[in-house]
Amino acid sequence: MSEQHTGPRTLITGGFGFLATWVAAGLIRSGHRVVLVDNREPEGTPIWLSGLLDDPAVETGRADITERGSLDQFGEVEYVVHAAALLGVNKVRSAPRETLRVNIDGTAVALDYAARMPGLRRFLLLSTSEVYGSDAKGAEESEWLSVRTGDPRWGYAVSKVTAESMTAAYGTEDKLPFAIVRPFNVYGPLRTGAYAVGILAAQAVAGQPITVHGDGSQSRAWCHAEDFAAGLIRCLHAPEAIGEAFNIGDDTNDLTVAELARLTSDLSGTKARIQQIPHTGPDIQSRKPDLTKARKLLGYEPVRDLEAGLRETIEWVRGGSGELPLRLERTDWPQWAADGVGVR
């Protein structure tokens, strides 16, 4: 994918994961070298399936993000993207203390490492849209954040609110040039684990009933992973992003879960029936980003078509969720200038 690998060096924690893989692909296209750090072996992970490990612009390494000084082995970098986190509703519910420990301590380790980089251009924290609480429709970045502290289901959101506060503190005390991204619902090939689009696609491909919790009236706005990566990379490069938080998602693909299930069934060609099942716990009724700030300061615009993206994801699931070399469709990736001054 890369034609050169002499650009800035960017370290990504949680580097073998789904979002990190798409971000790495976009960074390589933009002329960066990437250092992908994770606490597991790469085999079977999204980065392994993507084929990016063969790119000369990619380095990999293993580290426990909660151990102080664990990132020092990777030397100096100009950008840090902190994507490592313990997440997933079921995992968060079953391991609330571990969720808080990993996400808070891991952020402290990443911030400490970044603050000691003499040529650091940007530290970017991946937060979450869950910091807006149970109703995140049209939430603006300037709003007060409100999450429940007594319910383990919200431990992930609590940990990310804390991580945002820690990041801002480093900005104040250490003059750390930071930006915060709050991802909304992101889908696409290479995403493993239990998440709505993946579950619906797997059920549809197998010809099984597509299960919808409750009446399916919960709404989500789905963003293709490539669009998300493009927004994050703009946060890394834009001077206007320093010290700011941004919603990154797609505000044009607002569907109820029932509508998403029917669309997935149709696109799969199996015409799988929809089956309603009881809720297993508290749910977010509506989640849709307000992208006004991202559009104004970053020039961000999601462009990937939902039906095409779902079809792409369904075909990946149909093929066994195996290897899939990434192909980026966007043509507006920023390019690192040959003189190293910045992007063009």
pLDDT at 16: 98
| 89 band by pLDDT with thresholds 50, 70 and 90 | confident
Contacts of 318 (CB under 8 A, 6+ apart): 205, 268
pLDDT at 341: 46
In the numeric block, which tokens belong to residue 60? 């990999």
Q: Say how far apart CA 17 and CA 19 lie, in whole Å.
A: 6
CA atoms within 13 A on the CB side of 67: 9
Number of independent structural domains in the chain: 1
In a domain, residue 61? The reply is yes
Q: Dump pLDDT digits (tens) for 102-112.
A: 999 999 999 99
Q: Dump pLDDT digits (tens) for 210-244.
A: 999 889 999 999 999 999 999 999 999 999 999 99
Selection from 28, 43, 34 nearest residue 15 by Cα: 34
For range 24-52, the mean pLDDT = 97
In a domain, residue 164? The reply is yes
pLDDT at 17: 97
The three-state secondary structure class of 109 is helix
Whole-model pTM: value is 0.94
151, 282 in Cβ contact below 8 A?
Answer: yes
First to last CA, the chain: 19
Q: How far is CA 265 from CA 50, 233, 235, in A?
A: 26, 33, 36
Q: Dump pLDDT digits (tens) for 31-40.
A: 999 999 999 9
Q: Say how far apart CA 72 and CA 35 lie, in whole Å.
A: 12
In a domain, residue 134? The reply is yes
The full DSSP string for 84-146 is -----HHHHHH-HHHHHHHHHHHHHHHHHHHHT-TT--EEEEE--GGGGTTEEEEE-TTSPP-
C-alpha torsion sign, points 197, 135, 225, 259? positive
In a domain, residue 283? The reply is no
In the numeric block, which tokens belong to residue 146? 């409100």
In a domain, residue 269? The reply is no
Q: Dump pLDDT digits (tens) for 170-199.
A: 999 999 999 999 999 999 999 987 788 999
- 73: domain range? 9-188+224-251+288-304
Which CATH number belongs to the domain containing residue 242 in this structure? 3.40.50.720
In a domain, residue 334? The reply is no
For range 239-259, the mean pLDDT = 96
In a domain, residue 200? The reply is no
